[in-house]
Amino acid sequence: MSVKIGIIAGTPIDTQMGVDLIKKKGFEAEGVHTAANPEEQTVLQFLYPNLLTQKVIDIISDFEIKGIYRTIIYCNSLSSSIDLEKVRAKQPKTLLVTPLDIYCRLARNYTSIMLWAANAQSLAGIEKVFYEHNPSIQILGLSMLPVVEAIERLSLPEDIIEQFNMSSMAPRLPRIEALVLGCTHFPYLKDKLSVSFEVIDPTEKMLEVLMEYKTN
């Protein structure tokens, strides 16, 4: 019997990106978005986190009715803005994996990183996880919502990189060990980024966690 994975993300575009990725890995997937576009997503996350938390709980409830008990929150900023403890308490039967879970695992592996997020709230949430698990880590943070909006329009990766002058985004700091893609939109640009250090895509790590539980 094949495993079906639920995908919850902010917009239809990144939700579909998550569904497509899961299917490429051999799983069935069903996706549900929480907002119509990045602007609505940002408003919900900043002003209505309780409403957003309940929306995620309701989506997981619907997944469980369909027999889906493994879910990825395929969105860093969504994961940072909702009450994950409440979600997990309300839906204990579901294995819920978020990018933040992956950062908990990765934090102690690095001493200095560049963290690239969609907005400031997401950046702060991810930084908090890294610092909680590695208080001595050094983080250079960057948030760029307009890049997310360009990806939502499905502009070509090379055009986005040129438009936002991202060829020079990598700091000339020898101590930076890795660039963390703190938004699930950003792997869209990954193959075109030119950096001299490791690029961390938490998506692959989330899949590894789900695969661990596949055989349990």
Q: Do domains 4-99+204-214 and 101-201 have the same CATH topology?
A: yes
Q: Which residues contact 214 (CB under 8 A, 6 or more apart)?
A: 3
C-alpha 104/C-alpha 145 separation (Å) is 24
Per-residue pLDDT at 107 exceeds 60: yes
Q: Give the pLDDT confidence score for residue 165 in this predicted structure.
A: 84
Cα angle 182, 175, 125 (rounded to 5 degrees) comes to 25
Band of pLDDT at residue 193, cut at 50, 70 and 90: confident
Distance CA 99, CA 87 (A): 15
List the domain boundaries for the chain: 4-99+204-214, 101-201
Q: Which residues does residue 178 pair with via DSSP β-bridges, in sequence order? A: 113, 198
Distance CA 192, CA 155 (A): 13
Sign of the CA dihedral with 155 first, then 44, 5, and 86 last: positive
**Mean pLDDT along residues 73-95:** 94
Report, at the CATH architecture level, how domain 101-201 is classified. Answer: 3-Layer(aba) Sandwich (3.40)
Q: What is the DSSP string of 163-178?
A: HTTGGG-S---TT--E
What confidence tens digit (pLDDT) does each residue in 138-182 have?
999 989 889 999 999 999 999 999 998 887 665 555 578 999 999
- How much is the pLDDT for 35? 94
Q: What integer pLDDT is reported at residue 208 of this predicted model?
A: 84
CATH of range 4-99+204-214; options 3.40.47.10, 1.20.1630.10, 3.40.1670.10, 3.40.50.1860:
3.40.50.1860
